[in-house]
Structure 1
Amino acid sequence: MAETLQVPRTGAAPAARAPWQAYAPMWVMSAPAMLLFVALVLIPLLMTLALTFYQFDPASGPIAAFQFENYKEVLFDAYFHTIFLRTFGISLTVTAICAVVGTFEAYVLSRMGDPWRSLFLLVILSPLLVSIVVRAFGWSMLLSSGGLINQAFELVGMGPYKMEYTNFAIVVALAHVMLPFMVIPVWTSLQRLDPQTENAALSLMASPATTLRRIVLPQLVPGILSGSLMVFGLSASAFAIPSLLGGRRLKVAATAVYDQFLSSLNWPLGATIAVLLLVANLIVMLTYYRVLDRRYSRSMG
Structure 2
Amino acid sequence: MNLLHPRAVPWWLSGPALVLFAALLLVPLALTAVLSLNMFDPATGVKAGTFTLEHYAQVFTDGYYHAIFWRTFWMAALVTLICVLIGAPEAWILSRMGKPWRTILLLVVLAPLLVSVVVRAFGWSLLLGPEGLVNGALQRIGIGPVKMLYTEIAVVVALVHVMLPFMVIPVWTSLQKLDPGVENAALSLQATPLTTLRRIVLPQVLPGILSGSLIVFGLAASSFAIPGLLGGRRLKMVATVVYDEYLHALNWPLGAAIALTLLLANLVVMLSYHRLLEGHYKKALG
- Offset of residue 28 of structure 1: 2.1
Identical aligned residues as a percent: 61
Q: Give me the whole-angstrom Cα distance separating, in 2, the residues matched to 1:105 and 1:155.
A: 31
Residues 1:115 and 1:138: Cα distance change in structure 2 (over 3 Å): same
Q: Is 1:243 the counterpart of 2:228 in the alignment?
A: yes
Counterparts of 1:264-275 in structure 2 under 5 Å? 264-275=249-260
Residues paired across the two proteins, number: 285
Q: Is 1:37 the counterpart of 2:32 in the alignment?
A: no
Q: Is 1:186 the counterpart of 2:186 in the alignment?
A: no
Q: Which moved more, 1:290-299 or 1:241-250?
A: 290-299
Aligned partner of 1:193: which letter?
L
Q: Is 1:114 the counterpart of 2:99 in the alignment?
A: yes
- Offset of residue 182 of structure 1: 0.6
Q: Give me the whole-angstrom Cα distance separating, in 2, the residues matched to 1:185 and 1:233.
A: 15
Identify the residue that residue 8 of structure 1 maps to in structure 2. Answer: none
- Offset of residue 18 of structure 1: 6.8
Q: Give me the whole-angstrom Cα distance separating, in 2, the residues matched to 1:35 and 1:220.
A: 34
- Offset of residue 19 of structure 1: 9.7
Deviation per CA, 1:93-139: give whole Å up to 9, x if none: 01101111110000000000000000000000000000000000000
Q: Give me the whole-angstrom Cα distance separating, in 2, the residues matched to 1:26 and 1:194.
A: 34
Which secondary structure does the structure 1 equivalent of 2:7 belong to?
helix
- Offset of residue 29 of structure 1: 2.2
Q: Give me the whole-angstrom Cα distance separating, in 1, the residues matched to 2:188 and 2:15.
A: 54
Identify the residue that residue 153 of structure 2 maps to in structure 1. Answer: 168
Counterparts of 1:225-264 in structure 2 under 5 Å? 225-264=210-249
Identify the residue that residue 50 of structure 1 maps to in structure 2. Answer: 34
Which secondary structure does the structure 1 equivalent of 2:8 belong to?
helix
Counterparts of 1:285-296 in structure 2 under 5 Å? 285-296=270-281
Aligned partner of 2:12: which letter?
V
Identify the residue that residue 43 of structure 2 maps to in structure 1. Answer: 59
Identify the residue that residue 119 of structure 2 maps to in structure 1. Answer: 134
Q: Is 1:21 the counterpart of 2:2 in the alignment?
A: no
| Ranges in structure 2 where 5+ consecutive residues have no aligned partner | none
Counterparts of 1:49-128 in structure 2 under 5 Å? 49-64=33-48, 65-128=50-113
Aligned partner of 1:80: which letter?
Y
Identify the residue that residue 200 of structure 2 maps to in structure 1. Answer: 215
TM-score (norm 1): 0.92
Which secondary structure does the structure 1 equivalent of 2:40 belong to?
strand
Q: Give me the whole-angstrom Cα distance separating, in 1, the residues matched to 2:214 and 2:99.
A: 30
Counterparts of 1:135-150 in structure 2 under 5 Å? 135-150=120-135
- Offset of residue 155 of structure 1: 1.0
| Ranges in structure 1 where 5+ consecutive residues have no aligned partner | 1-16
- Offset of residue 23 of structure 1: 2.7
Q: Give me the whole-angstrom Cα distance separating, in 1, the residues matched to 2:187 and 2:5.
A: 56
Q: Give me the whole-angstrom Cα distance separating, in 2, the residues matched to 1:290 and 1:281.
A: 14
Q: Give me the whole-angstrom Cα distance separating, in 2, the residues matched to 1:186 and 1:218.
A: 12
Q: Give me the whole-angstrom Cα distance separating, in 2, the residues matched to 1:26 and 1:295.
A: 34
Q: Give me the whole-angstrom Cα distance separating, in 2, the residues matched to 1:42 and 1:141.
A: 40
Q: Give me the whole-angstrom Cα distance separating, in 2, the residues matched to 1:67 and 1:56.
A: 9
Q: Give me the whole-angstrom Cα distance separating, in 1, the residues matched to 2:61 and 2:219.
A: 26
RMSD: 1.3
Aligned partner of 2:22: which letter?
V
- Offset of residue 154 of structure 1: 0.9
Deviation per CA, 1:166-192: give whole Å up to 9, x if none: 111111100110000010110011011
Aligned partner of 1:32: which letter?
P
Which secondary structure does the structure 2 equivalent of 1:22 belong to?
coil
Deviating beyond 3 angstroms after TM superposition, the runs of 4 or more aligned structure 1 residues are: 17-20
